[in-house]
């Protein structure tokens, strides 16, 4: 039987090879090597303790990321006016960082410009400049815009998250915050090996969405559901207000979905189809609860989304502000019926050259199966981040 050090070596080898691996994939890998589940969990815990790896519940799936030590000690600013909460945040981050605690927004701006930290943990309600002003200052200056900003706030999460993301915040955590979540998120942002961590595109990928499609077809129990959530009107919105505004909407929906998945628990997960839609899969009650809740929250925050694009005052009501020419947003949510999924899958399989490719689908194939073929927008990613492009069909509608 393998010892703990051998198991750690095996686990590190797999995670290093793929750079990010789900817990279920690690279990399958361990099983193929006759490694006991308890031994696997112990090895993962030891590797996390040593800061060799970090884990995060990404879109409802526990994922492990390979870490690497930066060439220098990362500098972190914790900007929070409540001294007790500030101390809790600083302690939550763990050791191995150069941490500066700041209690005033205006002072934070001065020090950020002078010292150029790698990451800022930021409250919104601050004396002096507020957190949104601090965030905007960071992201609009070329010398600072690569600084990661994590907002941690008790203010209304949805409306302020819109503003925060628009001003360039990388993530928004609601108070009361989970210290473990904050610590893991900071580790992954600062130390993840390979491409920079992005909470939008680091949702479960095509491999995990493919697994959910196969599971939906194999489950005899009708309680397993796979659904599609689409941001309707996003292409026209991006065409009117700019591609960055379109990405802001996708980031907002992505983070709202991830919050809801954590809230409902179970084995529910969400994935992103690299366009204007997401996949939600899992227990039918949980999936429906997430879908309806997200639609309701998004509808409530729409006035603030439009306001952020320059339309005021919001109290007049959307119908009084907008003419028919102005693009409108909504979330469309629908279950993918099993019969339809079977038929579309059969068409996709006709193009598969090898039997072993069955169950592994590209984003294009998944979109065909899930009814997302008429792609109005396309998301691409590279070392510089996420880019959105509007398709020809949407351009003609403008």
The structural domain count of the chain equals 3
Where are the alpha helices (H) located in 147-242, listed in sequence order? 157-166, 179-191, 206-218, 234-241
Q: Does a structural domain hold residue 196?
A: no
Q: Are residues 108 and 248 in the same domain?
A: no
Whether the CA torsion 366, 235, 394, 330 is positive or negative: it is positive
Phi, psi of 169 (to 5 degrees): -60, 140
Q: End of a domain among 66, 85, 104? A: 66
- pLDDT value, residue 313: 45
Q: Which residues contact 78 (CB under 8 A, 6 or more apart)?
A: 86, 89, 90, 93, 99, 100, 101, 102, 120, 121
Confidence of residue 395 (pLDDT cuts 50, 70, 90): very low
Q: Are residues 33 and 95 in the same domain?
A: no
- In this structure, how many other beta carbons lie within 10 angstroms of the beta carbon of residue 139? 17
Summarize pLDDT for 303-337 with one digit per residue, the tens: 888 887 876 544 445 554 444 456 789 999 999 88
Report the predicted TM-score, pTM, of the whole model to 2 decimal places. 0.85
Q: Does a structural domain hold residue 200?
A: no
What tokens were used for 108?
């934070």
Asked if residue 389 lies in contact with residue 243, where contact means CB atoms within 8 angstroms, the answer is yes
Q: Are residues 305 and 349 in the same domain?
A: yes
Identify which of 153, 177, 74, 155 has the alpha carbon closest to the alpha carbon of residue 119.
74
- Tally the residues of the chain: 398
pLDDT above 90: residue 53: yes
Q: Are residues 104 and 10 in the same domain?
A: no
Largest Cα–Cα distance in the chain? 72
- pLDDT value, residue 157: 66
Weakest-pLDDT range from 129-138, 214-223, 285-294, 319-328: 319-328
Weakest-pLDDT range from 95-99, 298-302, 312-316, 380-384: 312-316
Whether the CA torsion 218, 219, 222, 227 is positive or negative: it is negative
Asked if residue 305 lies in contact with residue 250, where contact means CB atoms within 8 angstroms, the answer is no
Identify which of 247, 287, 276, 295 has the alpha carbon closest to the alpha carbon of residue 373.
276
Residue 99 pairs in a beta bridge with 76
Q: Does a structural domain hold residue 257?
A: yes
Where are the alpha helices (H) located in 72-156, listed in sequence order? 83-92, 105-115, 131-140
Query: What is the spatial distance between Cα 105 and Cα 128, in angstroms, rounded to a whole number?
Result: 5
Weakest-pLDDT range from 56-60, 82-86, 215-219: 215-219
Q: Are residues 334 and 224 in the same domain?
A: yes
Q: Are residues 181 and 239 in the same domain?
A: no
Weakest-pLDDT range from 34-48, 227-241, 313-327: 313-327
Task: Collapse the DSSP code of 152 into the 3-class scheme (helix H, G, I; strand E, B; otherwise coil) and give the result.
Answer: strand
CATH number, position 51: 1.10.10.10
Q: Does a structural domain hold residue 201?
A: no
Q: Does a structural domain hold residue 199?
A: no
Summarize pLDDT for 359-369 with one digit per residue, the tens: 788 888 888 88
- pLDDT value, residue 162: 87
What tokens were used for 212?
């959910």
CATH number, position 166: 3.40.50.2300
Greater pLDDT, 285 or 220: 285
CATH number, position 215: 3.30.70
Identify which of 313, 332, 181, 189 has the alpha carbon closest to the alpha carbon of residue 253.
332
Q: Are residues 112 and 248 in the same domain?
A: no
Q: Which residues contact 340 (CB under 8 A, 6 or more apart)?
A: 371
Q: Are residues 81 and 60 in the same domain?
A: no
pLDDT above 50: residue 103: yes
Q: Are residues 267 and 365 in the same domain?
A: yes
Q: Does a structural domain hold residue 48?
A: yes
Q: Which residues contact 219 (CB under 8 A, 6 or more apart)?
A: none
Q: Give the distance from CA 71 to its chain's centroid.
A: 27
Instruction: Provide the pairing of β-strand 119-122 with 98-102.
Output: unpaired
Query: What is the spatial distance between Cα 169 and Cα 120, in angstroms, rounded to a whole number?
Result: 10
Q: End of a domain among 163, 191, 219? A: 191
Task: Compute the radius of gyration of the chain from its Cα atoms.
Answer: 22
Weakest-pLDDT range from 25-29, 191-195, 199-203, 293-297: 199-203
Q: Are residues 220 and 337 in the same domain?
A: yes
Q: Does a structural domain hold residue 198?
A: no
For the segment 242-270, the average pLDDT, to the nearest whole number, is: 88
Contacts 24+ apart (CB under 8 A), 91-100: 91/179, 92/179, 92/180, 92/182, 92/183, 93/121, 93/182, 93/183, 93/186, 94/183, 94/187, 96/51, 97/73, 97/190, 98/73, 98/74, 100/75, 100/76
- pLDDT value, residue 324: 43
- Burial label for 78, CB within 10 Å (0-12, 13-18, 19+), is buried
Query: What is the spatial distance between Cα 58 and Cα 289, in angstroms, rounded to a whole number?
Result: 19
Q: Are residues 58 and 84 in the same domain?
A: no
| Domain containing residue 14 | 4-66
Identify which of 129, 69, 75 has the alpha carbon closest to the alpha carbon of residue 101.
75
- pLDDT value, residue 357: 62
Summarize pLDDT for 178-216 with one digit per residue, the tens: 999 999 999 999 999 988 888 887 788 788 888 888 888
Task: Work out the percent of the chain whose per-residue pLDDT is above 70.
Answer: 89
Asked if residue 103 lies in contact with residue 86, where contact means CB atoms within 8 angstroms, the answer is yes
Q: Does a structural domain hold residue 197?
A: no
- Burial label for 74, CB within 10 Å (0-12, 13-18, 19+), is buried
For the segment 105-123, the average pLDDT, to the nearest whole number, is: 97
pLDDT above 80: residue 233: yes
Q: End of a domain among 49, 66, 83? A: 66
Q: Are residues 249 and 266 in the same domain?
A: yes
- pLDDT value, residue 384: 67
Rounded to the nearest integer, the mean pLDDT of the chain is 86
């Amino acid at each position: 039987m393998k010892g703990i050090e051998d198991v750690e070596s095996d686990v590190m080898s797999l995670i290093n090879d793929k750079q990010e691996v789900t817990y279920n994939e690690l279990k399958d890998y361990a099983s193929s090597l006759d490694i006991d589940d308890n031994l696997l969990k112990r090895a993962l815990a030891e590797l996390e303790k040593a800061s060799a790896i970090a884990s995060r519940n990404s879109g409802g799936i526990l994922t492990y990321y390979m870490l690497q030590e930066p060439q220098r000690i990362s500098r972190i600013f914790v900007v929070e006016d409540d001294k007790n909460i500030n101390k809790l945040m600083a302690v939550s981050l763990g050791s191995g960082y150069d941490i500066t605690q700041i209690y005033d927004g205006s002072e934070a701006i001065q020090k950020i410009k002078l010292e150029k930290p790698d990451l800022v943990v930021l409250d919104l309600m601050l004396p002096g400049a507020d957190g949104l002003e601090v965030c905007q200052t960071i992201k609009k200056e070329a010398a600072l815009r690569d600084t990661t900003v994590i907002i941690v706030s008790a203010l209304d999460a949805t409306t302020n998250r819109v503003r925060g993301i628009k001003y360039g915040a990388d993530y928004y955590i609601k108070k009361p915050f989970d210290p473990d979540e904050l610590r893991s998120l900071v580790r992954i942002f600062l130390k993840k090996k390979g491409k920079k961590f992005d909470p939008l595109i680091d949702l479960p990928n095509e491999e995990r969405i493919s697994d959910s499609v196969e599971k939906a077809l194999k489950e005899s129990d009708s309680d397993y559901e796979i659904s599609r959530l689409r941001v309707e009107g996003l292409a026209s919105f991006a065409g009117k207000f700019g591609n960055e505004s379109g990405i802001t909407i996708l980031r907002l929906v992505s983070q709202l979905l991830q919050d809801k998945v954590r809230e409902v628990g179970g084995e529910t997960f969400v994935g992103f189809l690299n366009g204007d839609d997401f996949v939600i899969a899992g227990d039918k009650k949980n999936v429906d609860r997430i879908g309806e809740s997200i639609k309701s929250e998004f509808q409530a925050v729409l006035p603030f989304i439009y306001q952020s694009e320059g339309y005021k005052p919001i109290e007049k009501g959307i119908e009084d502000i907008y003419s028919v020419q102005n693009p409108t947003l909504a979330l469309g949510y629908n279950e993918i019926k099993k019969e339809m999924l079977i038929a579309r899958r059969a068409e996709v399989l006709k193009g598969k050259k090898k039997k072993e490719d069955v169950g592994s689908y590209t984003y294009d194939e998944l979109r065909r199966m899930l009814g997302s073929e008429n792609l109005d927008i396309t998301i691409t990613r590279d070392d510089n981040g996420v880019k959105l492009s509007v398709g020809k069909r949407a351009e003609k509608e403008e």
